Structure formats: structure tokens, C-alpha cells
Chain A
Amino acid sequence: GAVVSQHPSRVICKSGTSVKIECRSLDFQATTMFWYRQFPKKSLMLMATSNEGSKATYEQGVEKDKFLINHASLTLSTLTVTSAHPEDSSFYICSGQGVNTGELFFGEGSRLTVL
């Protein structure tokens, strides 16, 4: 299957700082990428849909000014958690969608811990 690379895999930051997470599709062009958030023993919760060259579409309850998403190219989408707080600590996972199929190719996830 296609490969999605997500970086960093783990990040620890102080409260009030901003953290950027990168998601790259390595062997396919992802016109659409999805950002999910997952709490322990919980389901993947969709945060936003990122379309190349346009503004992201955020799910209800997700603050777009707090979770900035940029999808400047067909292979790169970034999620920036601005002014992070301890409640933002979570596992963030991106995914790219296959062109001809509905399957999603997920990155390895980024564990964010805000102190």
C-alpha cells in the first residue's frame, strides 16, 4: 500500500507553545488528507479534512484558529497546534486517500504531550 510519513512521532512541549506536525505522502499524490485525534482507548475522531490548495474543512467543535492546517502541495499537509495546553495532549494521526479506492493510508501518528 501507499506510504504516509508523519513527523515528529513524539513531541513534548511547554504550555503556551506551538507545535507543528508534518504529514507527507511518499509515493502517491494526496489531494485530500484527513487529520484525526485519538485519546486512549477511544475511537479516531476526525478533526478536519485538508484539500490541496484550499482551506481545510473543520469538524464541529474543532477550533480552526487553534489547529491550523495547511495543505500547500499534493504531498504535504501540516497541522499546527497553537498555544498548546495540557488538554491538547493526544495522539494525532494524518491520512491520505487513495485516488482510485476509498481506502485511507495512515501516518504513524504523533504523540503530543503538553506540560
Chain B
Amino acid sequence: SQKIEQNSEALNIQEGKTATLTCNYTNYSPAYLQWYRQDPGRGPVFLLLIRENEKEKRKERLKVTFDTTLKQSLFHITASQPADSATYLCGLRRNTPLVFGKGTRLSVIA
């Protein structure tokens, strides 16, 4: 069955550093992969989408890579700020509805 793993449940980093979150998947060939941010008690907010034929996508301080050989996506936040603290979810999709990983809770410490 499909399996999506986000590298760690929680990640703490120092303000100003680059946060790197990992999303690995097995038994799946997604057409695209998406990253969302979720704050406590709120619905997820879309951040970036990357397609299977794309290697990298950027948006301001965010960067996503997609390696279909490794079956992995990396999500980077450069120059991290305390306001970036949240849970980040990766979601995968081909012909089925979006399937999510459990998320990584990022804490950026000032």
C-alpha cells in the first residue's frame, strides 16, 4: 500500500538557518507533490506544487525539490524566522485524491 513518510515528527532550528524537511514515499508514482503549512487548529494552506517532470521549484524563501528516482521531496526554508514555526505537510497525487503525510512540526527558535 502507499506510504508517505515525513522525516521527523518535530524539527527545531535556530533563526536564520535553513530548515530542510523530507518527504519520502513508497508504492506510489505521484504526478505531482504538494507542500502545505498548517497552524494549530487551522486548515492547511497551500505553499508549493511540483510536478513529476520538474526537479525544483522556488517561491521567495521556499524551495522544493522532487526526485522521482529516490522517491523523495525536500522542502527548504531559507533564512528561517520564528513565524515559520508550524506543521508542514506533504501531499501526493496522481489519479486519486491528495494523500498526506503526517507532517513535520517545525519550531524556529529566536
A and B assemble together? yes
User: Are B43 and A109 neighbours in the complex by a CB distance under 8 Å?
Assistant: yes
Give the dominant DSSP class at A's interface: strand
B: contact size bracket: 20 to 34
User: Are A109 and B41 neighbours in the complex by a CB distance under 8 Å?
Assistant: yes
> Chain A, 63-104, contact with B by CB distance < 8 Å: what is the 0/1 string?
000000000000000000000000000010101000001111
> Chain A, 37-73, contact with B by CB distance < 8 Å: what is the 0/1 string?
0000111101001000000000000000000000000
Given the complex, which residues of B lie within 8 Å of A1, measured CB to CB?
A: 45-46
Interface of A toward B, CB cutoff 8 Å: 1, 4, 6, 34, 41-44, 46, 49, 91, 93, 95, 101-109, 111
Interface of B toward A, CB cutoff 8 Å: 9, 31-32, 34, 36, 41-46, 49, 89, 91, 93, 97-103
